[in-house]
Amino acid sequence: MSLRVLLSLVVALALAALVVAVTAIASAFDDSDARARQRGEETAVAAVKGLVRAYRDLPAATTIQPRAPLAEALRTTAATALASVIETRGGYCWGDGTYVQVDSATMHGRPDGPFGPDDHGPPDEPPPGPAAPAPGPVRPIDSPGPPPHILAAIRAACASATADVALSAIEGPRDVIIIASQSVGPLAAFVTHIVPRSIGATGVLGSPLRVVVLALVTLALIGLALATIIWLGRGVGDVNRTLARLEQDLRADPAMPRTREFQAIAARLRTMARHLADARDRERVLERQIAHETRLASLGRTVAGVTHEIRNPLTGIKLLLDGMRRRGGDDRTRGEIAACLAEIARLDHVVSSFLGAARDSRAPVETIDLAALADERAALAARGAASTIATEGEAQLVAERDVVVRVLDNLIRNALEASPPGAPVTLRVSADAEMARCTVIDRGPGVPASLVGDLFEPFVTSKPDGTGLGLWLSHALVDARDGDLRYARVGDETHFTVSLPRVPHDLPADDPGGR
* pLDDT reported for residue 113: 36
Same domain for 137 and 22: yes
By C-alpha distance, which of 312, 310, 338 is closest to 325?
338
Residue 415 belongs to some domain of the structure: yes
- Residues with Cβ within 8 Å of residue 411, at least 6 apart in sequence: 440, 474, 496, 498
Which of the listed residues 141, 176, 196 is the one where a domain comes to its end? Answer: 196
By C-alpha distance, which of 188, 244, 182 is closest to 45?
182
Instruction: Specify the number of domains making up the chain.
Output: 3
3-state secondary structure of 343: helix
> Taking a C-beta distance cutoff of 8 angstroms, is the pair 410, 467 a contact?
no
DSSP-assigned letter for residue 143: S
DSSP β-ladder status, 166-171 and 139-140: unpaired
Same domain for 483 and 397: yes
Residue 213 belongs to some domain of the structure: no
Residue 243 belongs to some domain of the structure: no
Residue 227 belongs to some domain of the structure: no
Same domain for 437 and 382: yes
C-alpha span between 268 and 279 (Å, rounded) = 16
Same domain for 78 and 10: yes
Same domain for 135 and 73: yes
> Taking a C-beta distance cutoff of 8 angstroms, is the pair 355, 308 a contact?
yes
> Taking a C-beta distance cutoff of 8 angstroms, is the pair 366, 398 a contact?
yes
Q: Rounded to two decimals, what is the model's pTM?
A: 0.40
Same domain for 159 and 174: yes
CA angle 427, 429, 431 (to 5 degrees): 160
Same domain for 401 and 319: no
C-alpha span between 149 and 470 (Å, rounded) = 117
* CATH number of the domain residue 458 falls in: 3.30.565.10
- Residues with Cβ within 8 Å of residue 396, at least 6 apart in sequence: 367, 368, 369, 370, 431, 436, 502
Which of the listed residues 162, 181, 196 is the one where a domain comes to its end? Answer: 196
C-alpha span between 410 and 413 (Å, rounded) = 5
Residue type present at position 135: P
Residue 9 belongs to some domain of the structure: yes
C-alpha span between 164 and 153 (Å, rounded) = 18
3-state secondary structure of 123: coil
Residue 333 belongs to some domain of the structure: yes
C-alpha span between 22 and 496 (Å, rounded) = 80
Same domain for 407 and 329: no
* Helix and strand element counts for the chain (H, E): 11, 13
Q: Classify each residue of 171-210 as buried b or exposed e, where b means 16 or more C-beta atoms within 10 Å of its C-beta.
A: ebeebbbbbbbbbbeebbbbbbbbbebebeeeebeeeeeb
Which of the listed residues 196, 224, 256 is the one where a domain comes to its end? Answer: 196
DSSP string, 164-228: S-EEEEEE-SSEEEEEEEEEETTEEEEEEEEEE-SS-TT-STT-HHHHHHHHHHHHHHHHHHHHH
Same domain for 309 and 384: no
DSSP-assigned letter for residue 365: P
> Taking a C-beta distance cutoff of 8 angstroms, is the pair 195, 178 a contact?
yes
3-state secondary structure of 390: strand
Mean pLDDT by 10 residues, the chain (515 residues): 62 69 60 80 91 89 82 88 84 81 62 35 35 40 60 83 90 86 90 76 50 69 74 77 79 72 76 85 85 65 67 76 77 80 74 62 83 91 83 93 89 90 92 94 90 83 74 86 92 94 71 47
Same domain for 36 and 178: yes
Same domain for 322 and 454: no
CA angle 450, 454, 458 (to 5 degrees): 130
Residue 287 belongs to some domain of the structure: no
* pLDDT reported for residue 486: 94
Rg (CA), the chain: 54
* pLDDT reported for residue 160: 85
Domain span at 112: 3-196
C-alpha span between 120 and 51 (Å, rounded) = 21
Task: Give the number of other CB atoms < 10 A from CB of residue 263.
Answer: 15
Residue 202 belongs to some domain of the structure: no
Same domain for 179 and 31: yes
